[in-house]
Amino acid sequence: MAEYKIMTGNEALTHGAIAAGMRFFAGYPITPATEIAELSSELLPKVDGTYMQMEDELAAAAAILGASAAGKKAMTATSGPGFTLMHENVGYGMATEIPCVVVDVMRQGPCQGVATLPAQGDFMAVKWAAHGDHPVIAIAPSSVAETYTEIIRAFNLSEKYRTPVFFVSDATLAHMSEKIRIPDASELEIVERPQPTCDPDEYLPFNMEDNGIVPMANFGSGYRWFASGLIHDDTGFPVKTGNTVAIEGASRHLLGKIEDNIEDIQKWEEYKCDDAEILILSVGLVSRSVKTAIDAAREEGIKVGLFRPITLWPFPGKRFAELTAKAKTVMTCEMNLGQLSEIAAQYTDRDQKIVAITQSDGTVIQAKKILNAIKEAK
């Protein structure tokens, strides 16, 4: 039976992850993500799962990939400074197509910033995490309830498309409490990892040819496979450096498998967009301030709407472009110095007005500030 509970974002995230089948968590303490590690350390052993506190974030990202290869759904959670350290091994997960979920509870600033305060400065760090061209799926919830349901979707996408999936929250969403509905297990769609059924001697762990996604055999299941962070072919072994066709093919495969399934991966919310002359692009918790401002502006007769990507990356640009085509003005509202505004610019006309509401003072942007900006932009 579904239940109603009051919990914080970090609590909902942990419970949701376990409902999704997470049985391995490796992490390293960092504000404002620590509660996810704490709760995981308490809950996972109760469900025959494992919590590992690693020596650093490099090790945490490595350990979840090892655990995933051995058959467990695995996650880590961190914030900016730790996220930066994780890029290296998350890149390995992308290249070797090992599923896992990486949570970034964003905090203010570059470097250490302000550890306890929220921000959205990692949107682009998430998009470009790890060097080289690589696939990226990132999900950004706007409420505690959505944190619960969307972390489950993050695990599902990770398993379906054999790739690390990012989940971006922020310090305020992580620590605020809301009443949420916890769905009954029977209501949840949980993607279990398929296992190969072919002859073990014929098993190939990858399929570059058709952007294919081969079931990843659990280590120890009798299917022996090899993975390398080097550019490889279907066998997992490095391609010869002269084989430019295979090198290009393997690189395109990683992006291609996401592109091929973009409709299943992308998700967004449209709020009062139908007749919107002003369209606001906003992501995460701050989008709720945007909604409040929109309601107030509409009372004054201003036709304004919100476009909120829930899948932040790959950015739902096709739909956003359809909506911007109908709008006179495009606004962005984000808790950083202008990252979504650069994205918005790609989907607007040369003479279309773009108004960027940015803020990086460690607080959530208030509706009043947004309302004033809407009035000015009109």
Partner 1 sequence: MSEQHVYDKYFRADKLKTMWCPGCGNGIVLQSLVRALEETGTPLEKTVVISGIGCSSRAVNYLNTCALHTNHGRAIAFATGVKMANPDLKVVVITGDGDCTSIGGNHFIHACRRNIDITVVCINNNNYGMTGGQYSPTTPTGAMTKTTVYGNIDTPFDICDLAGAAGATYVARSLTYNPVHLKNTLKKALDHKGLSVVDAMSDCPSLFGRLNRLGDAPTMMKRWAEIAVPLAKAKTMTEEELAGKVVYGEFTDRKDRPEYTENYAALRLKAQGGK
Measured from the CB atom, the residue of 194 and 220 that comes closer to partner 1 is 220
Select 42 or 322, whichever has its Cβ closest to partner 1. Answer: 42
CB of 271 to partner 1, least distance (A): 41
d(CA 112, CA 75): 23
Please name the amino acid found at residue 152. Answer: I
Yes or no: say if 158 and 101 are a contact pair by the CB < 8 Å rule: yes
Q: 150 near 64, Cβ under 8 Å?
A: no
Strand partners, 3: 182
Residue where the block lists tokens 């996401």: 258
Least CB distance to partner 1 at residue 24 (A): 6
Q: Which is nearer to partner 1, 65 or 171 (CB)?
A: 65
Measured from the CB atom, the residue of 9 and 93 that comes closer to partner 1 is: 93
- Rounded least distance, CB 221 to partner 1, Å: 8
Q: Which is nearer to partner 1, 131 or 350 (CB)?
A: 131
User: CB of 7 within 8 A of CB of 35?
Assistant: no
User: Smallest gap, in angstroms, from Cβ of residue 225 to partner 1?
Assistant: 6
Least Å distance, CB 313 to partner 1, is 23
**What's the start-to-end Cα distance of the chain, in Å?**
48
3-state secondary structure 170-210: EHHHHHCEEEEEECCHHHCCCCCCCCCCCCHHHCCCCECCC
Residue 183 or 229: the one with the smaller Cβ distance to partner 1 is: 229
CB of 242 to partner 1, least distance (A): 15
Looking at the Cβ atoms of 98 and 310, the one nearer to partner 1 is: 98
DSSP 95-159: HHT--EEEEEEEEESSTT-EEEEE--TTHHHHHT-SSSS----EE--SSHHHHHHHHHHHHHHHH
Among 72, 65, 60, 70, smallest CA distance to 94 is for 65
Least Å from the CB of residue 156 to partner 1: 20
Catalog residues that contact partner 1 under the rule CB under 8 A: 23-24, 26, 42, 45-46, 48, 50, 52, 54-56, 58-59, 62-72, 74, 88-89, 91-92, 96, 218-220, 222, 224-230, 237-238
Q: Classify 257 as helix, strand or coil.
A: helix
What minimum distance in Å lies between the beta carbon of 258 and partner 1? 22
Which is nearer to partner 1, 22 or 286 (by Cβ)? 22
